[in-house]
Amino acid sequence: MKKALAFLFVCLALTGMAFANGADEKGDSERITLNVMGYGDNSNQEGISWRRMVTTFQEENPNITIVDELLYDQAYHQKVTARLAAGDAPHLAYMGADARWGAPWKEAGMQIDNRPYIDTNLFDMNLIPEMGPNGERYYLPIGTSNITTVLFMNEPLVQSLGFAAPETYADLVAMVPAAKAAGLQVVSIDGADGWAWGSCLLSALIARTSGDTQWVSKAVAGENAFDDEAMVKALGLIETMVADGVIDSKNVLVDYGSNISAFSNEQALFFVQGQWAAGGVENTDVRNSMKLMAWPTLPGQKSGMEGSVAAAWSVGYGLTKRAEDDGVQEAAAKFLAYVNRVEESTQRLRDGAIVAPVNKGYVVPDDLPVEVAQKVALAQSSLNTEVIDAFLTGPPNDALNAGMQKIAAGEATAAEVAAEVEALARQ
Amino acid sequence: MNPRDKRKLLGYAGFIAPGLAIYLFIVAYPVIYSIGLSFTDYNPNRGGEWSFVGLLQYKTMFSNPMFWHSLKNNMIVVAVSAFGQIPIGFALAYILYRGLVKGRDFFQSMVFLPQFLSPIVIGILFRKLVGADGPVSRLLQLMSGDPGKQFTLMLKSGTVMLPIAFALLWMYTGFYMVIFLANLQKIDSHVIEAAKIDGASETQIFGRVIVPMLSGTILVTTILAIAGSLKGFDLIFAITTEGLQRNNAMVLPIFMYQTAFQDYTNTMRFAFGSAISNAIVVISVALIGVANAVAKRFNAGEIG
């Protein structure tokens, strides 16, 4: 009897183990399991929207089960690398196609041309950049290009000190004494995050000092050197800004959240970040009255670069090579369209996550928040230049980011940092 | 061997086999696999193809200044653990054991409390403490009268390990204190009473009775501290921000992680990461060997 019970128990255990992973991708002819990797967390709007979209999509499509993983910031980047290395790629994932967001997918051979899965009746292909040599689109961006070097101005605060929107760098310098007397910073940056210096500041400066919108990609290709005069001048501008008090050296200790909070709490006249940070300004008075602008004319700036901003392809969702099965591809394409439908694009627009949607014939609502309208205006009026970490990655990029922090902290000179980056880039 | 001995042997093997199998699969196999990997250019994203590259990864590792910088920082962490956490933990345990302070349970709980918190939470807490205009900076501003004063030790390579050492002490000292306290409670109180009757002072009781009796525990905690210090990743990763701070405070596990998981310019990065992880294992084993040798030299082993 005992033996029979033991045998039965072992059989049950083995059966349980065999079916512990649930049904496979297409267990029967109707049910499809879609493995998806989303971006966001439960505390930000993108994450909250994601949870809602997954739930409602499954309700509307009972034959599709979504197994999703929602990650944000560094956790996302770490998990992508780990999952791809482990051969556990999702069917559909948040991704990019540049050096920062696209490298893992490219190296793992998981990028596929998503054009067959993008419904051209719903999305404007002219707004989606060509990402591969043959015009491939590896994903569907959630919006048009992202401006990464926006100068957010608290206009009422600037005016209260007796100033107007700066047209030149000298105008910013002129604000320093009054701002200091009032206990305010002039320009705040999340300088504790190395990437912020590169993506949100130097990307704008290098285009201004070189007069070339594509200086970075040319440097990565070896046509320019990172210790060229233009780069030394651009890095030197950081030295100058700190020396002039335009950027306080303490910003090397300020993280992303604290930077936005300082501006939101009216402790800084300006802050530097990407356009997506607009929605993070929680003080509605400040958010409704702030102005989004490009850096004013800078010392040593080349002609023709007035008002330029750095911009990178927006990230988005794309099918991966793992979505091989026809049924999975169909379900993934359906979900891809769902997360980018007009309602979601409008929500992202309102949240400040994007500049403009890629939905075909999209009509901008009349009641959009002020800062969103400004973003659109800035995107339409400014000259776009390259974002550094869309092209430069690995040790040279790390050295550049840490180098700018050293410059701001008075630990290194522009020439030293430029030489170090050039040496690493050519290794 | 007679049948009875054979049966005994099989019985012993039956007891050992499950544990041995788990050890070989979970501990030995990854270590051996990692050693093999470090002599190749393996990258799982290239479809499993690999070539033998000899000592290339090790040559690259030894010629990388960041490796030596990370190793130096790791040695600081080891020193803080072995010569900070353990002595302080021991001293605190002794104070509590001898009832030299009132409210023993309260102090025991307070010192052990950080053990209940995730290292990530503690890391973020310390990051906020030492951030711009954070509580530490505010204190400095108050003391100096300079409203612009900031706590900048995290920005300098030479000083970054000081706040981190403080965080390490705060977090792990309670763990060692509890180990020592548990072992102190095993000591026969008559031994201490006898020493007192013989006229020994509190310092003499501690130095000549307690320490020798707990030398085995000291050795075990030292081994735990060395192993823990060399593989420590989470706390330092969470305290520092990406860029200058993390570069300054780089330790081998973070260096290994950044190399293997983030440096897409290096197509051999997984094999290179394996070489770094092997270096961590070798250094751990060497340091534990030194600890054992020192313990042997002083005849460590609990008496009684």
Cβ neighbours of A393 in B, within 8 Å: 264-265
ipTM of the complex: 0.82
- What is the secondary structure of A226-268 as a DSSP string? TTSHHHHHHHHHHHHHHHHTSB-GGGGG--HHHHHHHHHTT-E
| Best CA proximity match to B161, nearest among B232, B88, B225 | B232
The tokens of B293 are what? 């040798």
Token pair 């890391």: residue: B123
Vertex B273 angle, CA B270 and B275, to 5°: 115
Class of the CATH domain delimited by A20-144+314-361: alpha beta
Q: Which spans in A296-390 are helix H?
A: 326-339, 342-351, 370-381
Q: What are phi and psi of A175, to 5 degrees?
A: -80, -15
- What is the secondary structure of A7-62 as a DSSP string? HHHHHHHHHHHHTTT-S-TTSSSS-EEEEEEEE--TTSHHHHHHHHHHHHHHHH-T
Q: Are A297 and A167 in contact (CB under 8 A)?
A: yes
Vertex A199 angle, CA A198 and A205, to 5°: 65
In a domain, B213, yes or no: yes
**Element containing residue B184 per DSSP (H, E):** helix B161-184
**Contact assignment for A85 to B242 by CB distance below 8 Å:** no
CATH 3.40.190.10 region(s) of chain A?
20-144+314-361, 146-312+372-425
Q: Is A111 on the interface with B (CB under 8 A)?
A: no
How far is it, in rounded angstroms, from Cα A185 to Cα A266?
A: 9
Nearest-neighbour CA in chain A from B254: distance (Å): 13
For the segment A289-304, the average pLDDT, to the nearest whole number, is: 95
CA-nearest residue to A396 within chain B is B265
In a domain, B258, yes or no: yes
Contacts of B55 by beta carbon, 8 Å cutoff, 6+ apart: B39
Q: Are A200 and A274 in contact (CB under 8 A)?
A: yes
- Using 50, 70 and 90 to split pLDDT, how confident is the model at A29? low
Cβ neighbours of B155 in A, within 8 Å: 252-253, 405, 409, 411
Vertex A130 angle, CA A124 and A134, to 5°: 120
Interface of A with B in 11-70 (CB under 8 A): none
CATH (domain of B215): 1.10.3720.10
Predicted confidence (pLDDT) per residue in A86-110, tens digit? 899 999 999 999 988 999 999 999 9
Strand, helix or coil for residue B191: helix
Give all strands of the β-sheet with A185-188 in edge-to-edge order. A185-188, A268-273, A150-154, A290-293
Task: Give me the pLDDT at residue A72, please.
Answer: 92
Cβ neighbours of B267 in A, within 8 Å: 107
How far is it, in rounded angstroms, from Cα B119 to Cα B134?
A: 20
E strand segments, B82-231: none
**Distance set, CA A137 to CA A113, A120, B238 (Å):** 5, 13, 36
Name which of B124, B138, B140, B155 to mutate to probe chain A: the one with the most chain A Cβ atoms within 10 A of its Cβ: B155
Q: Which residue has the higher pLDDT, B262 or A328?
A: A328
Residues in chain A: 427
Q: For residues A118-147, b (16+ Cβ closer than 10 Å) or e, as one string? A: beeeebeeebbeebeeeeebbbbbbbbbbb
Q: Which spans in A145-302 are helix H?
A: 155-160, 169-181, 194-197, 203-210, 215-220, 229-244, 256-264, 284-289
Strand, helix or coil for residue B205: helix
As a whole number of Å, the end-to-end CA separation of chain B is 37
Strand, helix or coil for residue B176: helix
Give all strands of the β-sheet with A384-385 in edge-to-edge order. A146-147, A309-312, A384-385
* pLDDT tens-place values along chain B, 304 residues long: 788 888 889 999 999 999 999 999 998 999 899 999 999 999 888 777 889 999 999 999 999 999 999 999 999 999 999 999 999 999 999 999 888 888 888 988 898 999 899 999 999 999 999 999 899 999 999 999 998 899 999 999 899 999 999 999 999 999 999 999 999 998 888 998 999 999 999 889 888 888 888 988 998 899 889 888 888 899 999 999 999 999 999 999 999 999 988 888 888 999 999 999 999 999 999 998 988 888 887 765 554 4
Q: Are strands A32-39 and A92-95 parallel, antiparallel or unpaired?
A: parallel
Q: Is A74 on the interface with B (CB under 8 A)?
A: yes
Contacts of B221-225 spanning 24+ positions with Cβ under 8 A: B221/B86, B221/B89, B221/B176, B221/B179, B221/B180, B222/B82, B222/B86, B222/B291, B222/B295, B223/B288, B223/B291, B223/B292, B225/B78, B225/B81, B225/B82, B225/B85, B225/B86, B225/B172, B225/B176
Task: Give me the pLDDT at residue A75, please.
Answer: 87
**Contact assignment for B156 to A258 by CB distance below 8 Å:** no
Task: Give me the pLDDT at residue A3, please.
Answer: 56
Q: For residue A304, what is the DSSP state?
A: T
How far is it, in rounded angstroms, from Cα A248 to Cα B292?
A: 51
- Mean pLDDT score across all residues of chain A: 91
Strand, helix or coil for residue A140: strand
> Could you count the other beta carbons within 10 Å of the beta carbon of residue A284?
10
In a domain, B142, yes or no: no
CA-nearest residue to B244 within chain A is A402
- Using 50, 70 and 90 to split pLDDT, how confident is the model at A28? low
Q: Are B38 and B256 in contact (CB under 8 A)?
A: no
Q: What are phi and psi of A283, to 5 degrees?
A: -70, 110
Looking at the partner chain, which of B132, B242, B264 has a beta carbon nearest the beta carbon of A250?
A: B132
Task: Give me the pLDDT at residue A344, please.
Answer: 94
The tokens of A17 are what? 């183990």
**Contact assignment for B131 to A258 by CB distance below 8 Å:** yes
Q: Are A393 and B265 in contact (CB under 8 A)?
A: yes
The tokens of A333 are what? 């394409």
Task: Give me the pLDDT at residue A247, please.
Answer: 97
Nearest-neighbour CA in chain B from A195: distance (Å): 8
Looking at the partner chain, which of A183, A398, A409 has a beta carbon nearest the beta carbon of B155?
A: A409
Task: Give me the pLDDT at residue B262, please.
Answer: 85
**Contact assignment for B244 to A74 by CB distance below 8 Å:** no
Q: Is A108 on the interface with B (CB under 8 A)?
A: yes
Task: Give me the pLDDT at residue A16, please.
Answer: 47
In a domain, B184, yes or no: yes
Looking at the partner chain, which of B150, B243, B265 has a beta carbon nearest the beta carbon of A402?
A: B243
CA-nearest residue to B269 within chain A is A394
| Number of domains into which chain B is organized | 1
Predicted confidence (pLDDT) per residue in A111-163, tens digit? 999 999 999 999 999 999 999 999 999 999 999 988 999 999 999 999 999 99
In a domain, B178, yes or no: yes
Q: Is B158 on the interface with A (CB under 8 A)?
A: no
How far is it, in rounded angstroms, from Cα A125 to Cα B2?
A: 83
pLDDT exceeds 60 at position A2: no
Q: Are A319 and A114 in contact (CB under 8 A)?
A: yes
Q: Which residue has the higher pLDDT, A353 or A303?
A: A303
**Contact assignment for B155 to A252 by CB distance below 8 Å:** yes
The tokens of A348 are what? 């992202």
By residue range, what is the domain housing residue B174?
64-119+160-297
In a domain, B6, yes or no: no
- Using 50, 70 and 90 to split pLDDT, how confident is the model at A368? confident
Cβ neighbours of A103 in B, within 8 Å: 264
In a domain, B175, yes or no: yes
Task: Give me the pLDDT at residue A7, please.
Answer: 54
| Pick from A9-18, A29-38, A305-314, A370-379: least confident | A9-18
Most confidently modeled range among A29-33, A131-135, A228-232 = A228-232
CA-nearest residue to B132 within chain A is A253
Strand, helix or coil for residue B222: helix
Nearest-neighbour CA in chain B from A425: distance (Å): 10
Cβ neighbours of B244 in A, within 8 Å: 194, 252, 401-402, 405-406, 409
In a domain, B16, yes or no: no
Q: A146-312+372-425, superfamily in CATH?
A: Periplasmic binding protein-like II (3.40.190.10)
Q: Is A267 on the interface with B (CB under 8 A)?
A: no
**Contact assignment for B130 to A253 by CB distance below 8 Å:** yes
How far is it, in rounded angstroms, from Cα A374 to Cα A289?
A: 11
**Contact assignment for B132 to A258 by CB distance below 8 Å:** yes
Q: Is A213 on the interface with B (CB under 8 A)?
A: no
Cβ neighbours of A253 in B, within 8 Å: 130-132, 134, 137, 150-152, 154-155
How far is it, in rounded angstroms, from Cα A339 to Cα A49?
A: 9
> Could you count the other beta carbons within 10 Å of the beta carbon of residue A218?
15
How far is it, in rounded angstroms, from Cα A272 to Cα A152?
A: 6
Q: For residue A302, what is the DSSP state?
A: P
Predicted confidence (pLDDT) per residue in B110-154, tens digit? 989 998 999 999 999 999 999 998 999 999 999 999 988 999 999
| Best CA proximity match to A290, nearest among A371, A368, A349 | A371
Q: Are A81 and A103 in contact (CB under 8 A)?
A: no
For the segment A245-266, the average pLDDT, to the nearest whole number, is: 94
> Could you count the other beta carbons within 10 Å of the beta carbon of residue B136?
17
Q: Are A298 and A237 in contact (CB under 8 A)?
A: yes
Looking at the partner chain, which of B43, B152, B243 has a beta carbon nearest the beta carbon of A401?
A: B243
Task: Give me the pLDDT at residue B48, please.
Answer: 75
CA-nearest residue to B154 within chain A is A253
pLDDT exceeds 80 at position A61: yes
Distance, C-alpha B225 to centroid of its chain = 4
Cβ neighbours of B47 in A, within 8 Å: 109
Nearest-neighbour CA in chain A from B287: distance (Å): 30
pLDDT exceeds 50 at position A47: yes
Strand, helix or coil for residue A124: coil
- Using 50, 70 and 90 to split pLDDT, how confident is the model at A51? very high
Cβ neighbours of B43 in A, within 8 Å: 107
How far is it, in rounded angstroms, from Cα B185 to Cα A66?
A: 55
